[in-house]
Structure 1
Amino acid sequence: MSLTLLQAWQGAKARLEAAGITGPVIDARLLVEAAADATRADIVTDPYRALSPEQEARLEDYVSRRARREPVSHILGRKGFWKIMLSVTKDVLTPRPDTEVIVDEVLKAFPEGMAFQMLDLGVGSGAILLSVLAERPAAKGLGIDISEDALAVARDNAANLGLARQVALLRGDWTAGLGDASFDLVVSNPPYIATKVIETLDPEVRDHEPRLALDGGPDGLDAYRLLAPEILRVLKPGGVFAVEIGYDQKDAVEALFRDAGAAEVRTVLDLGNRDRVVTGVKNPLEIRL
C-alpha cells in the first residue's frame, strides 16, 4: 500500500527525531515536498494523496541521508536565502539566515535606484552579492573566491537569477590585484572558526562544509587581520563595509578595522541577539586648502 503525503511526512519526522536531528519537523516537510513533487499546501489540503513507488524510493534515500547528518541543502541541491533560491553544493558554505543581516544593512545604506560598485570577498555561492543585486538593479558587483568550484556555483546562481549582466566573478586571493578606492561597498563572510573548534561542530558543518570556508586559524581572526586594511584600501572614500563575525569576535574585529582607519565602526546583532556583523565606513578624503 502506497504512503500518503501525511504518512510520509509523519514517518520522516519520526525517523529524523530518532536520529537526533535538530528541526525534524521542517526537515521532514522539505524532504517530502521534494521527493513527492508536492508543496506545503498539498500536505495540508491533500494529505491522503498517494506517493508513487519512485517518489517513495526517493524519499527513502533523502531521509536516510539526512539521518546520517547530511545537510538538507546538499540533499536537495538548493537553499533559500533572503528572497532568492540558490543552488548549493559541497563546494560552498550553505547560506544561513544569520548572514542575511549583511544584506539588510547594505540595503539600508544603498537606496533603491542608486548605482554603486560592490565587492564580495569569498563569494561562495553568491548569496550576499546576488541578494543585494537582485534588489538593486542599478548596481554592479564583483565576487572573488579562491575556489574555482565555488565560483562555478556562483556563476550558475547568477545565470539562474537573471543577474549575469550585473556580476563579474573572478578567482583570486582576497583583494590581490585590485586597485585602490575601487568600490562603494565591500562585504565578506570570511572563515572565522578557530581551527581547534572545527572538530567540535555539528556533523552537518564539520563533515560536509568546505574547510576552506570555515577555518579562521588558531584564534579565528586570521582573515580579518588581512582584510581590515585591504578592505579600507579598495573602498572609495565614504564607502561602506560589512563583514560577518563569530559571536565572540566583536571587540577584536572592531579594533582591527579602527586601527586600519575605518570610521563609524559598529556591530549589528542577528535575530538570535548575537553579535553578527561589523560594519563601518572609510573616511572621506580631507580637503586641504
Structure 2
Amino acid sequence: MSDAAALLRACALPPLEARILLMHVLGWRRTELITRDRETLPQDAVARFEALAARRSNGEPIAQLIGKREFFGLEFEVTPDVLIPRPETELLVELTLEAIADASNPRVLDLGTGTGAIAISIAHARPDARVWAVDRSRAALDVARGNASRLLKSGNVTFVESDWTANIDPSLRFEAIVSNPPYIASGDPHLEQGDLRFEPRGALTDDADGLSAIRTIVDNAPRLLAHDGALWIEHGYDQAESVRALLTARGFSDVHSMRDLAGIERCSGGRFAA
C-alpha cells in the first residue's frame, strides 16, 4: 500500500508535475497533499497515477493528461484536437482588450480559435463585446463551444467553421481581429520535440515558411475591419520584422511589435483606416 508522500518520492517526474498528476487522480487540492500525505491511497488511484506518470515520461503534455489548462485566470478544457494555451498568448488577449477599450459593444474576430481561449477570455473580460471564434477544425470548435458554455454567463461568442475568413459574413465589421495562427516553419526540429509531438500539427505549422497563414490574415483583415480597427497576430521569436513588413505593405498604420514576459517580440499589429 502507498501513501501520497511515498508515491511522490518514488516518482521519476519533476516534483511539480508529479504533484499535479496526483492531485488530478485523487481530486485533492494542493493543501491536501500536505495534510493527508500519510493517508493510505486506494490501489486503483495508485495505478491510475502510475499510468499517467508513465505517459508523461513518454512526453505527453500535462494539459492533455489532466484535460485542462489555466489561461487568463480561466480553466479551459484541453484535448488532443486543440493547441494547448500558452502563457505568452495572454499578451494577445491584453493587446486586444486595450485596442477595444474605448469601443462600445465592440466586435472582435478570433481566427484559429482552438480551445477558444483567446475569444472566451476577451468575451469574459468584456461581456458587452460580440466575439466571433473561427476554426476550420470541427473537433476544435466542439471543444471551444464546451469551454464557452462552462465559462461564460452570456452567449456573446459566435462559433464559425471556416478556413480563416472564408465563411465570415462580408458585411460584418470588427473593431479588432486577433489570431494565433500556425507559424512554425516546415522542418523546424521543435515539431518533433517535447509537447509539440502530441499537438495537432495543423495548429502549429503551415507546412511552409511559417508565414503563409499570417500573409492570408494580413491580406484579408482590412476587408473586415471597422475604421481604425486593430489587427494583432502572435508569431515566432524571429518573425517580428517580417510580420511588420507585411502589415506595412498592406497599408496598416501604427505598426509595432510587443514583447512577452521573456522579452521576445511575440505579437505584432497595427490599425487600418478603412
TM-score normalised over the length of structure 1: 0.89
In the alignment, which residue of structure 2 is the partner of 1:32? 22
Q: 1:258 to 1:194 in 2, by over 3 A?
A: same
Change (3 A) 1:198 1:215: farther
User: Are 2:56 and 1:57 aligned?
Assistant: no
SS at match of 2:220: helix
- Which residue number corresponds to residue 19 of structure 1? none
CA shift at 1:54, angstroms?
A: 2.0
Q: Which runs of 5+ in 1 are unaligned?
A: 17-23
- Among candidates 235, 258, 265, match of residue 248 of structure 2: 258
Structure-2 separation of matches of 1:223 and 1:68: 31
Provide, for residues 103-160 of structure 1, a one-character-per-residue CA deviation record: whole Å limited to 9, x for no partner.
1222233339942111000111101000111111111111111110111100111111
Q: How many angstroms apart in 2 are the aligned matches of 1:177 and 1:5?
A: 51
Tell me, yes or no, if the aligned pair for 1:112 and 1:135 is still in contact at 8 Å: no
Aligned to 1:247: 237
- Does the CA-based 8 Å contact 1:180-1:233 persist in structure 2? no
Q: Give, in whole Å, the separation in 2 of the partners of 1:209 and 1:164.
A: 30
1:209-228 paired onto structure 2 within 5 Å: 209-228=199-218
Equivalent residues of 2:258, 2:266 under 8 A apart: yes
Count how many residue pairs are aligned between Structure 1 and Structure 2: 273
Matched-pair contact (CA < 8 Å) for 1:118–1:139: yes
Alignment of 1:145 with 2:144, yes or no, is no
Letter in 1 for 2:226: K
Match for residue 186 of structure 2?
195
Structure 2 distance, partners of 1:210, 1:196, is 15
CA contact (8 A) 1:113 1:136 kept: no
Instruction: Quote the offset at 1:229 in angstroms.
Output: 1.8
Amino acid paired to 1:140: R
- CA distances 1:21-50 after superposition (whole Å, capped 9, x unpaired): xxx232111101001211111123332233
Match for 1:266: what amino acid?
A: H
Q: Deviations over 1:148-186 (max 9, x none)?
A: 011110011111113561111011111114315611111
Shift of 1:86: 0.6
Q: Is the 8 A contact 2:81 2:139 kept in 1?
A: yes
For the aligned residue pairs, the C-alpha RMSD in angstroms reads 1.8
The 1:48–1:113 alpha-carbon spacing in structure 2 relative to 1, beyond 3 Å, is: farther
In 2, Cα distance between equivalents of 1:112 and 1:127: 23
Determine the C-alpha separation between the residues in 1 that align with 2:228 and 2:153. 26
How many angstroms apart in 1 are the aligned matches of 2:171 and 2:186?
A: 32
Structure 2 length as normaliser, TM-score? 0.94
